[in-house]
């Protein structure tokens, strides 16, 4: 999978970290290895609204700060829905979409670290 800015917005991310690629790479690596998504899924499975909301909010915030755009967008929509609905079954599709987006972003990052590390270099 090629780098897709709709999934991880590298321009925005590099602006946030002032071009420090190694720092950003480390943060992304930690984000994808962290158990934040698993915490969201487990809370949904156990139908624990408070834990689900808190875990989703953490995932959303971290994704936003790291410019993991697709995960942030889906988590934001799911966050609004979880506040308004009390039926976890109706949120299952959104959770599945979030899962797909999270793992797509993770795969793209892992398969294209060279794109990140060469960001901003001029091709001669």
Q: Which residue has the tokens 């976890």?
A: 88
User: Model's pTM, two decimal places?
Assistant: 0.90
How many Å apart are CA 82 and CA 114, to the nearest integer? Answer: 37
Q: Indicate the domain borders of the chain.
A: 10-112
Tens-level pLDDT at each residue, the chain (124 residues) = 788 999 999 999 999 999 999 999 999 999 999 888 999 999 988 988 889 999 999 999 999 999 999 999 999 999 988 888 767 778 888 999 999 999 999 999 999 999 989 988 755 4
Question: Using an 8 Å Cβ cutoff, are 89 and 52 in contact?
Answer: no
CATH number of 10-112: 1.20.120
């Amino acid at each position: 999978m090629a780098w897709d800015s709709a999934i991880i917005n590298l321009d925005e991310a590099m602006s946030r970290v002032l071009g420090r690629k190694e720092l950003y790479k480390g943060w992304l690596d930690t984000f994808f290895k962290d158990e934040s998504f698993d915490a969201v899924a487990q809370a949904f499975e156990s139908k624990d609204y408070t834990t689900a909301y808190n875990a989703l909010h953490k995932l959303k915030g971290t994704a936003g700060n790291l410019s993991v755009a697709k995960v942030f967008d889906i988590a934001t929509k799911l966050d609004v829905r979880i506040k308004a609905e009390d039926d976890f079954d109706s949120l299952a599709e959104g959770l599945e979409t979030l899962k797909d987006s999270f793992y797509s972003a993770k795969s793209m990052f892992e398969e294209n670290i060279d794109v990140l590390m060469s960001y901003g270099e001029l091709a001669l």
